Amino acid sequence: MNVANPTRIAVAALAAGILFSTAACGMSGGSGEVEEAAKTGRVAGEITFRTLQLKPTFTAYVQGVIDGFEKKYPEVKVRWEDVPGDGYNEKLVADAQAGVLPDVVNLSTDSFQLLGDRGMLADVAKLDGAVAGEYVPGAWEQFRLPGKGDGVYAYPWYVTPEILTYNRELFEKAGLDPAKPPTSVEQFFDYAEKIAASSGGRYSAFMADPKGRLPGDWQKMGVPLLDGKRERFTFDTDTAVAWVERMKDLYAKGAMPKESLLKADDINQLYGGGKLVFGPGSPGFVKDIKQNAPQVYAGTQVAGAVTGKLGHIGIYAQCLGIKKDTKHLDAATEFAKWVTNGPNQVEFSKKATIYPSNARGLADPYFADRGDGKDAETLARAVGAEQLKTAELDANTPVEWTNQVGDAVVREVQKAIKGEQDARTAVKKAQEEANKLLADAARK
């Protein structure tokens, strides 16, 4: 998914996740090296459950979930370990090489790919095909693997959808109607141009950094990222070139802070200081502004995410993978389903700005409540939940778009936005570099 970088460190693993490079891992091996476990029909044994950066903020919640499971299944003992985000990629690699992966492990989409590609995760669709109906389709589908048929290799856990946040007062100053926010990428750029023309340099429309917008914008505009076999990138199109040209034009006109093209400014600080019209597309951001910039929060408007020809939005999903050769498959799978069931996910969502991937949980009245329609945080929660109902896999960042691919594309696009090369050359070179990286990864 391409959300404009959701929430922060208190829930760093929750909303934004920890992104890892799959191409630089150096872990050898494949599915043939790990023997698949089989169910016995007995939910028993000691299993290890690893989470990412949840202590101490969510210690009581997670321990309560574990206690409830052990009460239901008294023959199971769950050993919980929580690890920091720093070095998580390396730890996964080391544990996989040593054969000591946890039985149930919290993974981001990238770290899921890291283990899934190497055959380290159990196919949960094969273990229990009926469970698919318990999750939001866009979340369940995200954990398939290219070239591995109908398998699904993790249970979806908490998710974050895209929404649109904007400063109502600055919107009106630009002659725009706050009740009619942009609904497509093209319209978003049109609005940004009007904002730049009226601001006199006092504020900007949005952040320039292309990494926060790609590949999401291209997908929404109907740009085909990959060929049918998912073996080559194919985004070198007239539409992608037009996007780069528009970004260059808007950048020159002051629609984006100049420094934000190359450096990651604090978008919350800029928005909270009244220097930015559009905030990050994350419900968690609204909560941050409420706490840190109450005056700006009072004028913050929330709407559905900008979409495009597909009419879909992307989501960011955390998941629970099952170690393929776990000694206690029944206990591990039942525990993963327990953690991700409706009631447990709803309770978690009330403690952090996240959403259930579980369809029953998402149907809880808590997520439909819009209050009086004026409080941005309450409205953001309801809008985000509504967006999740239409979230689809084709709006999410494909697993082939690794961090290295994204960086390579961004480097070329940045040059074009600064006027150092033309847009068509930038997109062509970006695709060439992306395909080199894709080919290199395939050979490993």
Token digits for 108?
A: 């981001």
Q: How confident is the model at residue 71 (pLDDT cuts 50, 70, 90)?
A: very high
The Cα 420–Cα 405 span in angstroms is: 21
Collapsing DSSP to helix, strand or coil, 348 comes out as helix
CA dihedral for 359, 361, 365, 370, sign (positive or negative): negative
Q: How confident is the model at residue 18 (pLDDT cuts 50, 70, 90)?
A: very low
Q: Which residues contact 358 (CB under 8 A, 6 or more apart)?
A: 134, 135, 136, 156, 340, 341, 342, 345
Which DSSP letter does residue 149 get?
Answer: T
Name the most confidently modeled range: 84-98, 179-193, 200-214, 254-268.
Answer: 179-193
Question: Does 9 score more than 70 pLDDT?
Answer: no
Token digits for 259?
A: 């420094």
In sequence order, the β-bridge partners of residue 319 are 107, 156
For 143-193, strand residue ranges (E) read 155-161, 163-167
List C-alpha distances in Å: 415 to 361, 409, 418, 430, 432: 45, 10, 5, 11, 16
Q: How confident is the model at residue 26 (pLDDT cuts 50, 70, 90)?
A: very low
Q: Amino acid identity, residue 412?
A: E
Question: Does 263 score more than 90 pLDDT?
Answer: no
Phi, psi of 331 (to 5 degrees): -65, -40
Does 441 or 303 have the greater pLDDT score? 303
Does 45 or 441 have the greater pLDDT score? 45
pLDDT tens digits for range 347-370: 999 999 899 999 999 999 999 999
173 close to 198: Cβ distance less than 8 angstroms: yes
Environment class of 325 (CB within 10 Å of its CB; exposed 0-12, middle 13-18, buried 19+) = middle
Q: Reading across the β-sheet that carries 76-83, which strands appear in turn?
A: 76-83, 45-52, 104-107, 315-322, 155-161, 355-356
pLDDT tens digits for range 39-57: 888 999 999 999 999 999 9
The Cα 234–Cα 187 span in angstroms is: 24
Element (H, E) at 105: strand 104-107
Mean pLDDT of 416-435: 97
Residue given tokens 């050769």 in the structure block: 325
Question: Does 32 score more than 70 pLDDT?
Answer: no
Q: What is the pLDDT of residue 33?
A: 58
Q: What is the pLDDT of residue 439?
A: 92
Token digits for 164?
A: 């649109």
For 162-292, strand residue ranges (E) read 163-167
pLDDT tens digits for range 147-188: 778 899 999 999 988 899 999 999 999 999 999 999 999 999
Phi, psi of 52 (to 5 degrees): -115, 105
pTM: 0.83
Output the average pLDDT for the chain.
87
Q: For residue 340, give the nearest of 367, 322, 313, 365 by alpha carbon.
A: 322
Q: Amino acid identity, residue 149?
A: G
pLDDT tens digits for range 297-307: 999 999 998 88
Q: How confident is the model at residue 342 (pLDDT cuts 50, 70, 90)?
A: very high
415 close to 423: Cβ distance less than 8 angstroms: no
Token digits for 366?
A: 């808590």
Question: Does 425 score more than 80 pLDDT?
Answer: yes
Q: What is the pLDDT of residue 380?
A: 92
The Cα 380–Cα 365 span in angstroms is: 14
Mean pLDDT of 409-425: 97
Mean pLDDT of 275-292: 89
Token digits for 324?
A: 């393929």
Q: For residue 299, give the nearest of 372, 369, 374 by alpha carbon.
A: 374
The pairing of beta strand 155-161 with beta strand 355-356: antiparallel
Token digits for 371?
A: 């209050």
For 283-340, strand residue ranges (E) read 300-304, 315-322
Question: Does 395 score more than 70 pLDDT?
Answer: no
How far does Cα 349 stand from its chain's mean position? 16
253 close to 193: Cβ distance less than 8 angstroms: yes
258 C-beta neighbours (distance < 10 Å), count:
12
170 close to 197: Cβ distance less than 8 angstroms: no
